[in-house]
A and B are shown apart, each in its own frame.
Chain A
Amino acid sequence: MSNKIGTKNIWKSIKEYQEDPEVLEAKLHEFKQGVTDDFDPDQQSTFSRRKFLAVLAASTAYAATACTNYRDKGEIVPYVKRPEEILPGKPTYYASTFAEDGLSYGVLVKTREGRPIKVEGNPDDPINKGKIPSRVHASILNLYDPDRLQSPTISKVKSSWKIVNEEIASKLAEANSANKEIAVFTNHITSPTTAKVLDEFKLKFPSVKIYTTHLANDNNRVSAWKKCYNQNILPSIKWNKAKIIVALESDFLGKEGNTVENRANYALGRDIVYTKELSKLYSVEGAMSLTGMNSDIRLRLNPQLQFEFVLSLANQLMQLGAFGASELSDNVISLIRKNSLNNFAEKSGLQIEKLKLIAKDLAENKSNSILVAGDALNEKVHIFVNLLNDLLGNNSLYNYDHGFLIDSEISTPQELKSFVAKCNDGKIAAVINLDANPVYELPTSLGLSDALSKVETIISLSEAPNETTNLSKYILPLHNYLEAWGDHKTRNGLLTLQQPVISPLFDTKQKEEILLSWINTEPVDYHKYLMENFKTEVFDTNNSIADFNTYWLTSLHDGIVTTSKNSITENKFDQSIVKDFTTSLDGFTVLVQNNYSFGTGKYANNGWLQELPHPVTKVAWDNFAAVAQRTAEKLNIVNDDLIEISVNGKSIKLPTMIQPGMAEDTIAIELGYGRKNSGEVANEVGFNVNELLNENSLSQFIFGGATITKTGEVYKLASTQEHHSLDEEFVKDFHRIREIIQEGTLEEYKKNPSFLKEHKHEIFSITEPHKYPNEKWAMSIDLNKCLGCSECISACNVENNVPVVGKDQVARGREMQWIRIDRYYSGTPEEPIVSAQPMLCQHCDNAPCENVCPVNATNHSPDGLNQMAYNRCVGTRYCSNNCPYKVRRFNFYNFRDNFADSHYQNELTDLVNNPEVTVRSRGVIEKCSFCIQNIMEVRENAIRENRPINPNEVKTACQSACPTQAIEFGDSNNKNSYVTKNREHELSYHVLEELNVRPNVTYLAKIRNTDSEDI
C-alpha cells in the first residue's frame, strides 16, 4: 500500500512533510531577511552578563552567610586612613599617672587599636622606676566596670549635663548670696591645677569650705615629722643603705607609704646572690604583717607597749654608749631613765637576748641603721623614734632628693564635728563630694549620714556609686583616670602628667571641668586650662630652650617633668616636744590597719583586687579579726567563729582568723570592707570596721580596753590555702622535709657557700633528654628578694585574661590565678618562721602533665615551653592530677559569666581582655604560658630586624611587675642570660628536684640574717 504523501523521513510540520516550497525556501535561509531588524542593542536590558554573574555570586554568598550562625552583629570597619600612631596588631603606649591617697605612680598605658588593655609602670619614673602596686595593675578593670555611673542624675532620675549644671549653679549662687556654707569634701589634692581650680572656686563662692578626708591616713607620722623638724617635706628612706632596720608595728613593705619604692630599695639591700651583703630586718609588731613575714628576727609586742619599748631601747643604747646624756634634754633623760630593757623584757615577756641584740646592732651600726614606726602608732612614738634616729646618726639615711610633699592636711575632728552640727542646724547650703566618699571614710559614729540627710543639696562627683552618692541629690559621673587629664605633684621636684588614652566611654566629665563650668558661664576645656597652668608653673620656671608646644608634648610623652624643688630648711630637733604617754593594758588591744589590695577608696569594686589573696593569711573576699592561737583558746573560738569586738561602746562583728605570730590579746583588723551601694562586687563583702573608729581622733588606729564576745555564729572565710594548725605534728614542716623551701642563715652561708648543694644526689634519666638547639626559656626567682607581696598575681591577671570567680568558688578551691604565692609556716604558732614562694607552671622538661593527656592538648615547644592547646583540650583534668606543683587551673564553669550573675560578661567589660591571649571557655585547663605572647612579639621583632634574640629581652608580666626584681626570665641556653647565671648559682634549687621532672623555674634559696646558724 502506498499511502505515501510526502517523501521526508524526518519532518517538523505537515508543510515540510508535504515539501511546501515556501518551507524549503525558508530552510535555506536560516536568518530570514528582517529578522534582526527589531534587534537594537541599545534597547536591550543593560544588565550585562558580567553583572549578572556578579549578582549571582553575591546572592549565593548572601544566601550562604544567611545559613551560618555569624554571631558578631557589630560593625567591623577597617581604617580608610590609618591613624598615625596606630598599627593594627601592635600596641601603643601612653605615659600617664595613677594617683591615690597622696601617692602617685607614673604609668604607661598599653592600648591596642585605641583601647587600653594594660597599665604598666613608667620606667622613666625616678621614684617607682617602672613598678606599680597591684591596684594600679587592676585599675584597668575599673575603666570597664559595668557599675560605673554613666550619666548625670537628679534624685536618681537620668538628666543632662546642661540641666544639672544650671540647677547646681543656681543653688550655689543662692547659697553664696545667703552666705551659707558650701562644704566640699575631697581626698588629698595632689594636682596643682586642681588646687588652682579649687582656689578659683573658693574665690567665686567665698562660703566654700574644704574638708579633706583620708581613711587610712599617715597623719601620725606626718604631724610628728612637722613637729620634729618643722618641714613640709618628708624624706624617703634609703633602705638599701641600712644595715639594720627595726620596724616598729610598721608594714613599710606591705601597706605603708610608697610600698613600691620601699620594696625596691629594701630588696637592694638583700641582694645576697650578687653582692653577698644582707641587711638585717627586725620587726617588732603585734599583727603579722608582710614586713614581719620577711623579717630576720621578729618580736611579738602588743602595739600599746611600743612607746615603752623605744624608751627602754634608748636606755640600753645609752648604756652601750651609742649616745651620751649630754646630747639629751632633761625631760628626755628622765623619760629614758624610767625604763630599762630588763624591766621591759619582764613586762612584755620578750626574750631579753633578742632585745639586747637589737640594741647592740643599732649601737654598732650607727648612721647605718634605721628605726621606723608604723602609721598606727601614736604621734609621740613617732617623735621619739625620730629622736632616736637623730641620736644614732641615722638621719643620714633620710633621702630628701624627692621627698614627700606633706602640705595637705586632713580635716580635724573638731572641724568635722562642727560641720555635722551645722548640718543639723540647717546652716549648710550644699555639700559637694569631689570624688570623695566621706560617708564611708569618716568614722560612722560621727553621724555624717544622718547629718547629710538634713542637707537638701548634696552633689556627688564620682566615677562609681558609693555610700555618699546614694545620699546625694545630684550625681555627676566622672571620667576614669584613663579618660581624664591631670597633673600630680606628690614628690618634691617632680610633676607627673596624666593624659586620656581613650575617649570617654560614657556621658562623663572631668571633675575640674565641672567645677569650672560652675565658676564660668563659658565652658572651659580642661586640657587647655591644664596646659596654661603648666606653662606658667613649669615651663616658664624651667628655662627650657624648646618652645612651649614641643616642651609640652615631650613632657606628655615622658609623663614626668622635673620641676623646681621646694627648699628644705634644716631645723634642729627640739627635744622639748618629746612627751610621755601612757596606755593601759586592760582587756584586748584592737589594731586597725589599711588593707593590702584595694585600699579604702574606689577600688573595692574591683573583682581582681577582691580576689587577690591576702599576702599573709591567703584569705580573699573578706576582712577578719586576726588573733593569736592562745588568745583564741582563751576565748574558746576557732577559725570562722563570728566574734563581737567592743571598744568604747562601739561594737562590730567579725569572723575569727587564727594567725600565727599575733601578739596575745591583740586583734588586728583591716579597713576598706563592708561597703554598701558601691557596686555589685564591693557590696556586702566583709565588714565595715569604720564603725569602730574614733570620731574624736581620726588617726587613732590602736584601741585598748576592748572586749571580745563569742556570738556563736559562724561566718565562712574563703582562702586559697588550707589553714593547718602549726602544732599539728601530722603535717608539720612539710615544706622543709620535702625541700620545697630551702633556706639557710648568713652564718651558715658564709661558713660554707655551697651548703645547699652538699647533700644532693645526682639525678639521672634513663632516656635521652630532649634537645633544645635554639632558645630554651626559663625563669629564676630569688627568694631573698621575693617578699610575697602578690603584685605579680595582679599583673598576670590583667595580662592573661584571668577571670574573677567569686568567693564561693575560691572557697571551693577553684581560683584561676596562674601564679600564686605559697606561704608556709614553721616554728611555733607563737614565733612562726614564714616563707613565701611564688608558684607557677614550672615548664618541666619531663613534664608529667604532657604524657597523660589523651588528646595531646598539652605538649612541649622546641623552645622549652609547656604549651596548652585550648581548642584541643577536652578537660579530663588528668594533667592537673599529675602535676606535682598543682599549677594547672580548670574552668569548672564558664567563668566569664559565672561570677555574680554574669556581672563581668558584657560588651563593655570584654574590652579589658588582652587580644593576644585566648579567652578560655568552660571545660578546659589553663595555666601559666610564660607569657608566650611576649616571647612571640620579641621573636617577630628579632626576625624582622634579622638579629638573634637577646637572652634577657623577653619580659613576662610577673617579672615586669615584681617591685624587687626577684623574677628573671630568659634563655637558659645562653650563658649571658641572668637566668643562666642564677641557675648556676650555689643557692639555686628546684622544687621537688627528686621527681626528675626537670622544672625550668629555678629558685634561689633564702638566706636569713639571724645571727645564728639556725633559721
Chain B
Amino acid sequence: MGSIDYTQELSVVEGKPALRELDELISKPLDSKPDIKFYIALAVTLTMLTIGAIGLTASLYYGTGLWGNNNPVGWGFPIVNFVFWIGIGHAGTLISAILFLFRQKWRTGIARFAEGMTIFAVITAMIFPIIHTGRPWLAAIYLLPYPNQHSLWVNFTSPLLWDVFAVSTYFTVSFVFWYIGLIPDFATLRDRTSNKIKKIIYSVTSLGWRHSNRHWQNYELTYLILAGFATPLVLSVHTIVSFDFAVAILPGWHTTIFPPYFVAGAVFSGFAMVQNVLIFIRKIFNYEHIITMDTLERMNKIILLTGMLVGYAYSMEFFIAWYSGVQPEVFAFMNRAFGDYFWAYWIMFSCNVFIPQLFWFKKVRRSIPFMFVIAVLVNVGMWFERFVITVTSLSRDYLPSSWAYFKPTLTDASLLIGSFGLFFTLVLLFTKSLPVISIAEVKAVVDGSQPKHGDH
C-alpha cells in the first residue's frame, strides 16, 4: 500500500471508460428485453402489491375497523407507514440536491436512482394519509383549501394540513428536479434509438435538446436553482411531518427535539434503502465501476453518522423527560423502554443505534454482505421507531382508565406489505424504462473529462 496523494482528487469512476462505452452501458437495460429474473422479481413485487390492494379494498368497503386501531390508539400502521416512506424519500433529495451544492462528485453515480426512489417513496407515502381517514372519499377533497359557497376553509392550525402542503410541494419539486436532470439523457437516448415509437417518446420528453452550449448553460443554471429549491425541502418535509406529533399535547409526542431528530432519521433510513437497492443494481447491470465500493463506503459513513444522531436523540428524549419533572412525560418514555411495547423499543434501539456501530470498521463498511444486512436492519429499526413513537405514546397517555393495547391485524400487515410491493414495482419498472444513472453527469466526472490546471 503506497501513500495516498491528497493533492489529487480521487476519481469517482473507476477505470477510464470511453464516453461511448458509458452511453452503451447505461442505456443497455433500456435496449434489451427483460430477462427471466426481472419477471420473477416483478411477479414477487406485484404479488405484494396485490395483497395490499386486497387489504385496501376491504378497508374501504368495511371500514377502518379492520385495522388494529382502537380508542386511545387512533393512529396505527398507516401513519407509521406514511412517516416511514416519507423518510425513505429523503436520501434521494439529499444526494441529488445537497450533495450537488456541496460539489460531491461521488453523488453522480447514485443521484438519479436515489431521486427516483424519492419519487416512488413519496407516491407510496402519499397513499396512507388519505386511506387512514375514516372517510377517504371526503378527505381527498376537504383537506384542500378550495373556495366554496359555504365559506368553509381548512384549519391552518392543524399540522395535518401543513403535511398536505409539505408533501405535495416536496413531490412536485422532486419530480421537476428529476425530470430536468433527465432531459439531456432523453436526448442521448433519442439519438441512439432506432425504434420509431421510442424515438417519438424521447423526442417529446427531451424537449428539443440538441446538446448545444447554450442548452448546457441554461440546464446547469436551472439545475442549480432547483437544487437550491430542493435543499430546504429535505429539512422542511420531515420537520413538518414531525409536527404532526410535536404539536400535539400527548406525552411522548410533545417534544421539541422532533424536527432535527426526524430529519436525521429520515436521511438514515433513506440512505439505508438506497444502499440496499444499489447493491443489486450495480451487480445486475455491471455498474461496479460507476457505483464504486468507495461510493458505498461513503454512504455507509453517512448511515453511521445519522445513526448516531438518532441515538443521541433517543437519549436526549429520556434526559429531557427526566429533567422536565413532569410525571406523564417521564412515564411515557419509561413505558417505551419497559412497558408493554418494550420489545418494539429494543428492536428500534438495537437496529438503529447498536448495529450501525459496526460501520466503524472499514472491513464492514466495504463488505457487501455486511453492509446489506446492516442497512436492512436499519430500516427495520426505523420502521419500529415510528411505531414506537406513534403507538406506545397513544396506548398509555394521561388517564390510565383509557389505556389500551394496540394489536395489529392481518389487514394492517397487508397494507404494509402492499406499500413495499408498490415501491419495488415502481423501482423495477424504472430500471427498465429510464437510465438509472445520469449519462450526462457521469461523463463529466470521468477522469480527464474536465480541464485541469497546468494542462496547457
Question: CB within 8 Å of B: which residues of A?
Answer: 721-722, 724, 730-731, 734-735, 737-738, 740, 809, 812-815, 820, 822-824, 837, 839, 848, 851-856, 872-878, 880-882, 884-886, 888-894, 898, 922-925, 991-992, 995, 997
Contact = CB atoms under 8 A, between A and B. Distances in A.
Interface residues on B, range: 35 or more
22 contacts: A724-B400, A730-B334, A730-B338, A812-B68, A813-B71, A813-B404, A848-B248, A852-B160, A854-B164, A855-B154, A872-B152, A873-B135, A874-B138, A875-B64, A880-B74, A881-B250, A882-B248, A886-B72, A890-B69, A892-B63, A894-B63, A992-B399
B445 interface: no
A891 B401 contact: no
A806 to B, nearest CB: 11
Interface string B57-94: 00000111100111111110000000000000000000
Which 8 interchain pairs have the tightest Cβ spacing? A875-B134, A923-B134, A877-B74, A892-B65, A813-B70, A822-B401, A886-B402, A813-B404
A880 B63 contact: no
Given A721-B401, A893-B62, A893-B63, A878 B158 contact: yes
Interface string B133-170: 11110110011000000001111011111001000000
A881 B400 CA distance: 15
Contacts of B338: 730
Contacts of B403: 722
B71 A888 contact: yes
Contacts of A890: 64, 69, 71, 74, 134
Contacts of A822: 399, 401-402
B112 interface: no
Interface string B231-253: 00000000000001001111000
Max chain A Cβ within 10 angstroms of own Cβ: one of B74, B139, B327, B398: B74
B321 to A, nearest CB: 15
B17 interface: no
Contact of A886 (B134, B139, B158, B397): B397
B401 A852 contact: no
Contacts of B399: 735, 738, 740, 822, 839, 884-886, 991-992
B327 A854 contact: no
A734 B332 CA distance: 12
Given A876-B160, A923-B135, A852 B397 contact: no
Max chain B Cβ within 10 angstroms of own Cβ: one of A823, A851, A894, A923: A923
A824 B400 contact: yes
A820 to B, nearest CB: 7
Interface in B372-410: 394, 397-405
B134 A891 contact: yes
A854 B398 contact: no
A815 B164 CA distance: 31
A893 to B, nearest CB: 4
A820 B161 CA distance: 32
A820 B401 contact: yes
Given A738-B398, A823-B401, A851-B158, A880 B72 contact: yes
B155 A854 contact: yes
B228 interface: no
Nearest to B334: A730
A823 B400 CA distance: 10
B208 interface: no
Contacts of B75: 877-878, 881
Contacts of B190: none
Nearest to B244: A878
B398 A853 contact: no
A875 B135 CA distance: 6
Contacts of A815: 71
A707 to B, nearest CB: 34
Max chain A Cβ within 10 angstroms of own Cβ: one of B135, B331, B394, B402: B402
Nearest to A895: B65
A735 B69 CA distance: 25
Contact of A872 (B70, B142, B327): B142
A387 to B, nearest CB: 43
A851 B244 CA distance: 12
A737 B338 CA distance: 19
Contacts of B443: none
A854 B247 CA distance: 13
B133 A848 contact: no
A677 B322 CA distance: 58
Given A813-B72, A995-B398, A997-B249, 8 more contacts: A734-B331, A853-B155, A855-B142, A875-B133, A875-B139, A892-B63, A893-B62, A923-B135
B79 to A, nearest CB: 9
Contacts of B133: 874-877, 923
B29 interface: no
A856 B401 contact: no
B157 to A, nearest CB: 4
Contacts of A873: 134-135
Contacts of A997: 249
Contact of B69 (A737, A872, A884, A892): A892
Interface string B120-139: 00000000000011111011
Given A856-B154, A872-B152, A888-B71, A878 B160 contact: yes
Nearest to A823: B401
A823 B402 CA distance: 10
Contacts of A851: 155, 157-158
A874 B135 contact: yes
B153 A856 contact: yes
A141 B338 CA distance: 46
B65 A855 contact: no
B130 to A, nearest CB: 9
Contacts of A854: 142-143, 154-155, 158, 160-161, 164
Nearest to B72: A886
A997 B398 CA distance: 13
Contacts of A894: 63
A814 B70 contact: yes
Contact of B397 (A721, A837, A874, A884): A884
A874 B144 CA distance: 12
B155 A889 contact: no
Contact of A734 (B142, B153, B400): B400
Contacts of A992: 398-399
Contacts of A878: 74-75, 158, 160, 244, 248
B455 to A, nearest CB: 59
B248 A852 contact: yes
Contacts of B311: none
Nearest to B327: A737
B407 to A, nearest CB: 8
Nearest to A739: B327
A853 B158 contact: yes
B398 A884 contact: yes
Contacts of B249: 848, 882, 884, 995, 997
Max chain B Cβ within 10 angstroms of own Cβ: one of A882, A891, A898: A882
Contacts of B248: 848, 852, 878, 881-882
B301 to A, nearest CB: 37
B328 interface: yes
Max chain A Cβ within 10 angstroms of own Cβ: one of B68, B152, B335: B152
Contacts of B158: 851-854, 878
Nearest to B63: A893
A814 B135 contact: no
Max chain A Cβ within 10 angstroms of own Cβ: one of B142, B152, B249: B249
Contacts of A889: 71
B134 to A, nearest CB: 2
B456 to A, nearest CB: 62
A882 B75 CA distance: 11
A855 B398 CA distance: 26
Interface string B327-344: 110010011001100000
A785 B400 CA distance: 23
A888 to B, nearest CB: 7
Contacts of A925: 134
